[in-house]
Amino acid sequence: MANSDIIYVGKSLATLLEDVPSTINYDDEGVVGATLNYTVDWVAAPALVAVLLYHPDFTFLRREDATIERMEAGWAKVSVTFKGIDPNTEDGPTYSMRGSTGSEPIETHPDFATFAGKWWDATTWNAENGAEFVKKGQPDQGKFLGFRLGEDAEGEGGAPAFNRKAGLRSYLEGGLLFRETELLAKEKAGQAQRANMALLGYIDEPPEVESFVDLEEDRTWLLITCSIEEVGDGLKVTREWRCSGRNGWDPDLYSPSDS
């Protein structure tokens, strides 16, 4: 045990012994955590927790939780954890990227005309795959009707051959998710965060994304999530963007309204 001190519990005095094991931890994003351990009179333990709303040495750390464990002879072991954001840190936002797959309409596949055919030329429709379109000059001309079963080609024993594309309407295409995490200490946390939410659901170019990937010209980014989490008296702001398919996000659907 290290230091001995006195605390008030109501109008009474109680002995407080601060135990040596005390830790401070900085994670890879810059969030700071700390733990203090005390030995105190059992009846004084709740009052101690109530007093320790902030770390006694580092006031940017706010109490996150506390545990009181009763021991022999009327003593209690108190463990208090704190969390916060160091206002002196100069680290900027952190970025990360991960790959994913998403479902895309089969008509958008770059080789669609090769394995299905050109809608305006019925002679190119792939008979083996059973591709069908609404013919030119008819209502809904060019609409892809799908791939039929392979009834025109025979398999074993004279049965229709299996068509692996029968019923196919979409395919999985590789995509990217880009994430930004920013920590704001108490002095900055009071600033309005509406700007982080303003483009949610709209086309938006992520900051610093060029240092991670060089995209095809027509691909664009869509801001899909924005979360704001309290960390002590500060904030942790996380934003995530999804990369589009080959044709980009439709600006008619995903551009901010002028009104």
Q: What is the mean pLDDT of residues 216-227?
A: 88
Same domain, 156 and 182: no
Shared-domain flag, residues 160 and 196: no
The pTM (predicted TM-score) of the whole model is: 0.68
Residue 259 lies in a domain: no
Give the residue among 216, 212, 148 at the shortest CA–CA distance from 179: 212
Per-residue pLDDT tens digits for 196-220: 677 889 999 898 888 888 877 788 9
* pLDDT, position 166: 79
Q: Is residue 230 part of a domain?
A: yes
The residue range of the domain holding 133 is 108-170
Q: 48 lies in a domain?
A: yes
Phi, psi of 16 (to 5 degrees): -130, 125
What CA–CA distance (Å, rounded) separates 145 from 224?
A: 32
Query: Average of pLDDT values for 228-237?
Result: 87
Query: How much is the pLDDT for 179?
Result: 94
pLDDT tier, 152 (very low <50, low <70, confident <90, very high otherwise):
low
Q: Do residue 99 and residue 204 come from a single domain?
A: yes
154 and 234 assigned to the same domain: no
Is 70 found in the same domain as 16? yes
Do 151 and 176 lie in one domain? The reply is: no
Q: For the segment 74-102, what is each residue's pLDDT rounded down to a tens digit?
A: 889 999 999 999 888 767 888 999 998 87
What pLDDT does residue 9 have? 47
Considering the domain architecture, whether residues 166 and 236 belong to the same structural domain is answered as no
Number of domains in the chain: 3
Instruction: Name the residue among 184, 116, 108 with its Cα closest to residue 145.
Output: 116
Higher pLDDT, 16 or 72: 72
Query: pLDDT, tens digit, for every residue of 1-12?
Result: 344 454 544 444
Evaluate whether 172 touches 106 at the Cβ level (below 8 Å): no
Pick the last residue of a domain from 170, 203, 218: 170
8 shares a domain with 116: no
Distance, in Å, from the CA atom of 150 to the CA atom of 124, rounded to the nearest integer, reads 17
Instruction: List the Cα angle 43/44/50 in 5-degree steps.
Output: 125
Residues 112 and 151 in one domain: yes
Residues 124, 128, 129, CA angle at the centre, nearest 5°? 85
Are the C-beta atoms of residues 153 and 130 closer than 8 Å to each other?
no
Binning pLDDT at 50, 70 and 90, where does residue 150 land?
low
- What are the Cα distances from residue 2, in Å, to 17, 95, 113? 7, 42, 78
Write down which residue in 128, 151, 170 finishes a domain. 170
Per-residue confidence band for 192, with pLDDT thresholds at 50, 70 and 90: very low
